[in-house]
Amino acid sequence: MSEYLPGLEGVPATQSNISDLDGKRGLLTYRGYRIADLAVNSTFEETALLLLDGRLPTHEELEIFDQQLRSNRIVKYNVREIMKYLPATGHPMEMLQTAVASLGMFYQGDDCLTGGAVCQDLNYVHNMSVKIIARMATIVAMWEHVRNGYDPFPPRKDLNYAENLLYMFSGEDPDPLMARIMDASLILHAEHTINASTFAALVAGSTLASPFLVIAAAVGTLAGPLHGGANQRVVEMLEEIGSPANVNAWLDKKLASKSKIWGMGHREYKVKDPRAIILQTLMHELMEHRGGNMGPMFETALALEEACEEKLAPKGVFANVDFYSGILYKEMGIPPDQFTSIFAIARSAGWLAHWREQLGDNRIFRPTQVYTGQSERDYVPIDER
């Protein structure tokens, strides 16, 4: 193929059996299982293992995996010391990329990937996946305290993944509903076919880089506002609007200037993002749990989505996963600049599933280009220019 397609839109970059989506029907599946079913019936731990191994685990398999995750939550004090010397004003995603990349120096064991041979040791791949998924949440929650000058709360083995994440943020036992909502949010963000950050993981993995560097590459890619960083921008946008009464005038102004409406539209979906539908349902459940008492941001979001549907739906632009995820995280007390880090925690499961798949039939990525520069010419000495 010699045709240049910006952003590689529509160009197959790999073959995968991990996830699939139907943008016209608004359907997303992990290993064939509908995301709506997994969000209601599964857990993040089970979903992560489904993505990694390709099938729903037995009770015994899930118990073993869960215990492995719980036993690998602690990180070496060296990582905490590195975090202490990072600027407190730095973005959490920059910290996360730095910390994840450093893990390979403290948890070595890349012999499986050396010598140019593709690693076929599934025990190695599984164990490295466990170490990374388990420690992603620890690192993100640690930073919230370190950057504010406090020692972080140590992880607890008696809590599940979502519960422990919320506990490490607050130091308090999480509300059961909040923990369930966080668990569902992690499931919804765990995987989404070959997006930008997953492609970055594939490219890094194809070089046989260590899995820590593979995930670091994906984290850096996810950080951009056109990818994972959009959920933070949604909250900032809603704060700018202020109240439902301001929605229509604000939206008209933005549309007239052709400005981006954060959380609206998706390259793949021509209908409302199925993940946004589930998150909106969880938002209503949380509102009911609180006796109808929610912050004005949720009311503003509902009004904005209604206005956008009237003006943008005919163009196939609907709410995506970022529109409601940031609002939910804010209700959980998580700072807006940490929203994308929560996204990265969840997506590490999908990234590692793709890393494993890439190793199974590896060939280094080396795309071509369409050259638009000067034709061949002679060098001119500097005195003659």
Pairing of strands 33-34, 19-22: unpaired
Neighbour order of strands in the sheet with 33-34: 19-22, 27-30, 33-34
Report the distance separating Cα 185 and Cα 235, nearest Å: 17
Q: What is the pLDDT of residue 225?
A: 80
* Of residues 24, 7, 11, 1, the one with CA closest to residue 273: 24
Q: What is the pLDDT of residue 110?
A: 60
Report the distance separating Cα 122 and Cα 128, nearest Å: 10
Report the distance separating Cα 198 and Cα 355, nearest Å: 9
- pLDDT value at 250 more than 80: yes
Lowest mean pLDDT among 133-137, 141-145, 272-276: 272-276
Question: Which one has a higher pLDDT value, 122 or 166?
Answer: 166
On average, the pLDDT of the chain sits at: 91
| C-alpha distances out from residue 51 to 33, 46, 131, 190, 266, Å | 11, 9, 16, 9, 23
Give domain limits for the chain: 16-23+41-174+184-223+337-360, 230-331
Find the radius of gyration of the CA atoms of the chain. Answer: 22
- pLDDT value at 163 more than 70: yes
pLDDT per residue over 336-346, tens digit each?
A: 999 999 999 99
State how far Cα 214 lies from the chain centre. 14
* Overall fold of domain 230-331: Cytochrome p450-Terp; domain 2 (1.10.230)
Q: Which residues are catalytic?
A: 266, 322
Q: What is the pLDDT of residue 173?
A: 96
State both tokens at 164.
Answer: 């422990």
Report the distance separating Cα 293 and Cα 208, nearest Å: 51
Q: Residue 103, exposed/middle/buried by CB under 10 A (0-12, 13-18, 19+)?
A: buried
- pLDDT value at 118 more than 70: no
Report the distance separating Cα 12 and Cα 255, nearest Å: 33
Q: What is the pLDDT of residue 115?
A: 55
Q: What type of residue sits at position 157?
A: K
Q: What type of residue sits at position 334?
A: I
Three-class secondary structure of residue 34 per DSSP: strand
pLDDT per residue over 332-371, tens digit each?
A: 889 999 999 999 999 999 999 999 999 988 899 998 888 8
Question: Do 278 and 325 form a contact (C-beta atoms < 8 A)?
Answer: no
The reply to whether domains 16-23+41-174+184-223+337-360 and 230-331 share a CATH topology is no
State how far Cα 14 lies from the chain centre. 20
CATH 1.10.580.10 fits 16-23+41-174+184-223+337-360, yes or no: yes
Question: Do 30 and 51 form a contact (C-beta atoms < 8 A)?
Answer: yes
Cβ within 8 Å of residue 112, ≥6 positions away: 119, 121, 124, 125
Q: What is the pLDDT of residue 112?
A: 65
Question: Do 265 and 318 form a contact (C-beta atoms < 8 A)?
Answer: yes
Three-class secondary structure of residue 354 per DSSP: helix
> Which pTM was predicted?
0.92
